[in-house]
Amino acid sequence: MARVHVLRGQYRVFGFTLDEQGMNLPRQYGPWTTFKTIELHPDESYQGVDVSVCLDDIRKHGFHLTAAHERIHPSHGSDECRL
């Protein structure tokens, strides 16, 4: 289980992160505003989010991004992301 903060950015982008302020979220989709805090459990779904992928992204990159329920893939080694 993980307590994850969800923040809303521009263009229907949502960021999932352990950082309550979302300071590690990519600036290109900001400004970020707090949306809600949720509890995620591995291998369970949550409102269209693949929780296992979300938690894996958070573990690897520090955050998980979606736009209209589609994952935005973090680029390797930077805070730039691609749709």
Q: Fill in the DSSP letter of residue 29.
A: G
Sole residue written with tokens 């521009």 = 10
- The helix/strand/coil state of 79 is coil
Give pLDDT tens digits for 64-83.
999 876 788 776 434 445 44
- More confident: 63 or 1: 63
Tokens matching residue 29? 């989709």
Range of 52's domain? 2-82
Q: What is the pTM of this model?
A: 0.84
Convert the pLDDT of each residue in 16-75 to its tens digit. 999 999 999 999 999 999 999 999 998 787 888 889 999 999 999 999 999 876 788 776
Give the CA-trace dihedral at 13, 38, 45, 33, to 10 degrees: 0
Report the number of distinct structural domains present in the chain. 1
Tokens of 13: 């982008």
Phi and psi torsions of 15, nearest 5°: -110, 135
